[in-house]
Structure 1
C-alpha cells in the first residue's frame, strides 16, 4: 500500500515509464507504507543494475540525492535486498550501490549486515564468488568489512557459512580476517535450520559440504571438541545419512553381485568409474560429484547404495578417530589401543556415534 506510480513502474521493470516519471518530477525517495523506496524495489529485480543506474543518473541530472541507505520497515537497505534477491548480474548491482556510498556494514533490525545476507543466502555455487567479489569491491573503495560482528541471534558470518555447508565461503571469510575466537560451532539444531545448497545428490552434498567446512576450519587451527563432533553425527543421523533401506536383492536385480560392483560400473566420466574416482577424492571433489546431473537418470536403488557407500567413506575418518578413545574407555582399557582401533574400524558409523554419545552421557552423569 502507498505505492506511487514510480514504485509501480520500477516493480514492472518498465524503464521508459520510470524515466518519464522521474523527468516529470516524481520523488525518487518516496517510501510506501512498508518503508520501501523505488530503489528498494529495483534492488530486488532482475534488471537491478540497469534500473538503478538510470535512477542515479537522472537524480544527478536533477541535482537530487538518491538515498542509497534508506531503510524499509525491516531495516533493510537496497544493498541488503540486492544481495538477497537479485539473481542476475548481482556483482554489477552491488558494485554500483557501493560506488554510490552504500554502507556495507549497515545492520537491519535483525542485526544482519549485507555480509550476513551473503552468508545466509544460496542460489548456487556462484554465490560464493559473489562473497569474494563483495570483499574485492569494498577493498577497492577502502571500506573495512566487519567480519566478526554478531546478529541478534548471536551468529557470526563464519558460523552462518558453516551452518549452510559452504566450505568455499568459509575459505573466503577466513582469508578476509574472520577470527576463530568469535566462532561457535553450530549445533545439530542450527544445521537443521540452515539453507544448505540444493544438489542433485542431497545426502552427498550434506556430508561433503559439512566435512569440507570442518576441514577448512582445521586448516585454520580450529580444534573440534566432542560436542562439535556429536553435532555433526546427530545432524547426519537426523537427515538419514546412516539409513540404508535398499533391499540387498537390488544387486541381483541390476546385474550386480555386491555393492562394490555398483561402484565399479557406474561411470561419472567416459573412462572413470565411481569406484575409481573415490580413490583420490577430497571433500571438494565429493561436493562437485554431488552436483553430477546423471544421478537423476540412474535407478533409485543403485543411487542409494552409491550414496550410502560414499557418505560412509567420508564420515569414516572423522568418526573413527573420535570413537577410538571413548571405546577404549568404555571397555576400561582391557585391550591394547591398537586392538580397539581394529574393532572400531569394523563398526558402522551409527555405532561410532552411539559410542561417542555414551561417553558423553557418562561424563555428564559422573562416575
Structure 2
C-alpha cells in the first residue's frame, strides 16, 4: 500500500468511528415510536434532547403511553433517562394507576422501584370504582398495605362499592382477599343489604355463600 494512502485511510476510519458514536436524529415522533415499540427511535429522541415528560395533544405523557401498551423495556429506558414516575396525564392518572388498571403488575413494581409515590389505599378505591377486577392488581395493592375493609368518606368499603355497582367478579375478588362481608357502611348497611336493595340475585347468592348477613353484627370487631 502506498505510504501516502495510509494516513488518508486512518483518517477515514477515525471519521467513521466518530460518526458511530452519535446516533442520527429520530425520523418518527416519540409517540409513534412508543406505539411501535421502536427502542432505537426512542434512544435517538433521548440523545437529541426530546422532552420525555411532554404531553401529546391529548394530554398523554410518554411514560403513560409506554405503560399502557406494556412496553417494559421502553418504560425502563424512559425512567433511566429521567421520566417522572409521578407525573399525571390530562385525566389525572399516574403511570402506576395506568399500570394497575391494565393489570400490568410487573410494570407497577418497576415504577415503585423508580420511586412512584401513589398511596396504595387510594389506588385500591380508584380500581374498585373503575370496576377493575384483576386479581393480581388488587393483590399487589394489599401486599403494599391497602386495607380491603377501609372506608371512604361516605363510610363505604371497597366491598360495598363493588356490590353497589353490580360487580360480581370484583366482589368475589375482594372476598378472596379477606374483605369483611358483614361490615356496615356509613348508613349501617351490610354488603348483603345493599345487594338486596338493588335486587341483584347473583351477588346476593355469592354473599350468602360466604355467610353474609343482611343486618350488621351487634358486637364490634
1:122-271 paired onto structure 2 within 5 Å: 122=70, 127-136=71-80, 138=81, 144-181=82-119, 184=123, 185-186=125-126, 190-191=130-131, 207=133, 210-224=134-148, 225-226=150-151, 227-231=157-161, 237-238=166-167, 241=169
**Residue 321 to residue 118, structure 1, CA distance change in 2 (3 Å):** same
Shift of 1:215: 2.3
* Cα-Cα RMSD: 4.2
What are structure 1's unaligned runs of at least 5 residues?
A: 1-52, 58-65, 71-76, 139-143, 193-206, 243-310, 332-346, 360-367
Name the structure 2 match of 1:321. 179
Instruction: Provide the TM-score with structure 2 as the length reference.
Output: 0.57
Whether 1:349 and 2:203 are equivalent positions in the alignment is no
Shift of 1:171: 1.0
**Residue 231 to residue 160, structure 1, CA distance change in 2 (3 Å):** farther
Whether 1:102 and 2:50 are equivalent positions in the alignment is yes
In 2, Cα distance between equivalents of 1:149 and 1:165: 19
In 2, Cα distance between equivalents of 1:119 and 1:231: 27
1:23-70 CA deviation, whole Å, 9 max, x = no partner? xxxxxxxxxxxxxxxxxxxxxxxxxxxxxx9xx64xxxxxxxx5x6x9
- For the 8 Å contact 2:63–2:95, the answer to whether it is kept is yes
In the alignment, which of 80, 85, 95 is matched to residue 31 of structure 2? 80
Whether 1:118 and 2:42 are equivalent positions in the alignment is no
**Residue 357 to residue 190, structure 1, CA distance change in 2 (3 Å):** farther
Q: Secondary structure at the match of 2:130?
A: helix
1:316-355 CA deviation, whole Å, 9 max, x = no partner? 422x53214449x779xxxxxxxxxxxxxxx9535489x6
Shift of 1:114: 0.5
- For the 8 Å contact 2:129–2:162, the answer to whether it is kept is no
Shift of 1:179: 0.8
In 1, Cα distance between equivalents of 2:91 and 2:78: 23
What are structure 2's unaligned runs of at least 5 residues?
A: 1-19, 152-156, 191-203, 217-221
Q: Secondary structure at the match of 1:321?
A: coil
Shift of 1:115: 0.8
In 2, Cα distance between equivalents of 1:357 and 1:120: 40
In 1, Cα distance between equivalents of 2:129 and 2:146: 21
